[in-house]
Amino acid sequence: MMQDEDLSGPPKRNVFSQAITRISQVGVIIYAKKLSKSSINTCTLYFQIYQNYLDLWTPHAISRWIFAVFLLALFLLRIVLTQGWYIVTYALGIYHLNLFIAFLTPKIDPAMDFDDGEGPELPTRSNEEFRPFIRRLPEFKFWYSVTKSTLFALVCTLFDCFNIPVFWPILVMYFITLFCITMKRQIKHMIKYRYLPFTHGKPKYQNHEQGSRLTAPK
Return the higher-pLDDT residue of 51 and 21. 51
The predicted model scores a pTM of 0.67
Q: Which amino acid is at 132?
A: P
> Within a 13 Å sphere around the CA of 126, how many CA atoms are in the beta-carbon half?
3
Q: Give the tens place of pLDDT for each residue, 69-121.
A: 999 999 999 999 999 999 999 999 999 999 999 999 888 777 776 555 554 45
Domain boundaries, the chain: 1-57, 61-193
Provide the 10 A C-beta neighbour count for residue 68. Answer: 20
**pLDDT bucket at 214, cuts 50 / 70 / 90:** very low
For residue 108, the model assigns a pLDDT of: 79
Q: Give the tens place of pLDDT for each residue, 154-208.
A: 999 999 999 999 999 999 999 999 999 999 999 998 888 888 777 655 555 455 4
Q: How far apart are CA 119 and CA 106, in angstroms?
A: 15
For residue 209, the model assigns a pLDDT of: 45
